[in-house]
Amino acid sequence: MAFETQLYDLLGIEPDANNAQIKKAYRINALKYHPDKNKDPGAQDVFKELAYAYEVLSDPEKRRLYDDYGPDGISGDSPTTNDNPQPDFSFNAAQNIFSHFFGNSMQNAMNQSLDAMFSSMESQMRRGKDIKHPLKCTLEDLYKGRTAKLALMKTVICGSCQGLGVRDPSYIHQCFGCNGQGKVMFQRQNGPFFETHEVACSKCHGSGKFTKPQDKCATCHGQTVVQERLILTVYVPPGSKHGDCIVLDGEGDQYPNVIPGNVVVIVDEQHHLVFKRKGHDLIHVAQVDLKTALCGGVIDIPSLEGGRLLRVSILQGEIITPGKLKMLSGYGMPI
């Protein structure tokens, strides 16, 4: 049982957390509270406290002393307070821990602002493919608007292992075939010359990690993802047309370290027996008897408003010839 848990509480972990969990907690919180990223006045103090907590808990001997004796076990005669769990710990020391933790990503960004570095980290994440799905709609649907339920099978991060593929993070080992790099050098002779190529490691399939079969997650069997049936609600606004795309942001397949793509619903307008659509206009071919065409009168034509008929007047002397167009303003598709 730990004598004091304040450093664990800072990182948001339990006193029995393993080294992988400590690293993960520090990484998430350090990125969140770095003063160049977080402009809150208290962010720098939190950033220093997080670095100190990581320095102590990631060192087995310091962690043992802290667990046994609390802050006094690692600070000697240095005073501590409840509000500030670390002794005199400078921002430079915290920054050095941050730089060492993030390694090359920090070195590459040395002459850039941290905002640019964070943006670079996000941009390096691969974006998943969009899922495209047609949705059949009648002309009435597109005239009035429609809310539809869309069922599809989706790949999601395994909830049992949180996408790690193993029962516990400590079961993930560095691949011995590529030393954790995920790639190996392959040499091939081409005539008198030798060509060197970089290829994905065949032992870890480019992941740089190795897991024993018995340690794999029982739910996803080491695949990190599972299949899930998903019901999505799609709203087709009035006036939509064939080929319109309705984008559901971030609803695509999920994979570790991949930004989910979108679900793109494509409107598939069905053939209509009464109307032909041309842009926002509706064209209807009406049968007019000879007497009405020559002498005038009234004809009724259908509409898309639930059986309502539209009455069209043909004035006396307004001779209707085959193919003549007569326009009713405001009765087409919504704009």
**Same domain, residue pair 264 and 246:** yes
Token pair for residue 109? Answer: 């960004």
Q: What is the CATH number of the domain that holds 154?
A: 2.60.260.20
Task: Report if residue 91 sits inside a domain.
Answer: yes
Task: Report if residue 109 sits inside a domain.
Answer: yes
Structural domains in the chain (count): 4
**Same domain, residue pair 97 and 146:** no
Closest listed residue to residue 309, CA positions, set 326, 292, 284, 333: 284
**Same domain, residue pair 135 and 241:** yes
Q: What is the mean pLDDT of the chain?
A: 83
**Same domain, residue pair 74 and 181:** no
Task: Report if residue 217 sits inside a domain.
Answer: no
Task: Report if residue 300 sits inside a domain.
Answer: yes
Asked whether the predicted pLDDT for residue 85 surpasses 60, the reply is: no
**Same domain, residue pair 241 and 310:** no
Asked whether the predicted pLDDT for residue 206 surpasses 70, the reply is: yes
Rg (CA), the chain: 33
User: For the stretch 60-81, what's the b/e string if a residue is b when 16 or more beta carbons lie within 10 angstroms of its beta carbon?
Assistant: eeebebbbeebbebbbeeeebe
pLDDT band at 122 (very low <50, low <70, confident <90, very high): low
Token pair for residue 249? Answer: 């942001």
φ/ψ (deg, to 5) at 213: -55, -40
What pLDDT, on a 0 to 100 scale, did the predictor assign at position 80? 46
- Which is higher by pLDDT, 34 or 99? 34
Contact present, 226 and 163 (Cβ < 8 Å): no
Neighbouring residues of 308: CB distance < 8 A, sequence distance ≥ 6: none
**Same domain, residue pair 66 and 137:** no
In angstroms, the Cα distances linking 51 to 14, 100, 121, 184, 317 are: 17, 11, 21, 34, 91
Max avg pLDDT among 5-14, 121-130, 202-211: 5-14
Asked whether the predicted pLDDT for residue 239 surpasses 70, the reply is: yes
Closest listed residue to residue 165, CA positions, set 108, 119, 226, 123: 226
Query: How far, rounded to the nearest angstrom, does the alpha carbon of residue 10 sit from its chain's CA centroid?
Result: 28
Q: How many alpha carbons fall within 13 Å on the CB side of residue 7?
A: 29
Q: How many alpha carbons fall within 13 Å on the CB side of residue 83?
A: 2
* Alpha-carbon span 330 to 138, nearest angstrom: 20
Task: Report if residue 142 sits inside a domain.
Answer: yes
pLDDT (mean) for 269-285: 93
**Same domain, residue pair 281 and 237:** no
Q: Which domain holds residue 237?
A: 131-161+225-269
Neighbouring residues of 15: CB distance < 8 A, sequence distance ≥ 6: 1, 2, 5, 8, 67
pTM tops 0.85 = no
* Alpha-carbon span 23 to 21, nearest angstrom: 5
- Which is higher by pLDDT, 250 or 73? 250
Task: Report if residue 51 sits inside a domain.
Answer: yes
**Same domain, residue pair 135 and 260:** yes
Task: Report if residue 154 sits inside a domain.
Answer: yes
* Beta-carbon count within 10 A of 231 CB: 8
pLDDT, one tens digit per residue, over 193-202 is 777 778 888 8
**Same domain, residue pair 24 and 64:** yes
pLDDT (mean) for 252-266: 92
Helix axes 91-102, 19-33, angle to 10 degrees: 120
Token pair for residue 244? Answer: 């319109």
pLDDT (mean) for 61-69: 87
Q: What is the CATH number of the domain that holds 13?
A: 1.10.287.110
**Same domain, residue pair 117 and 181:** no
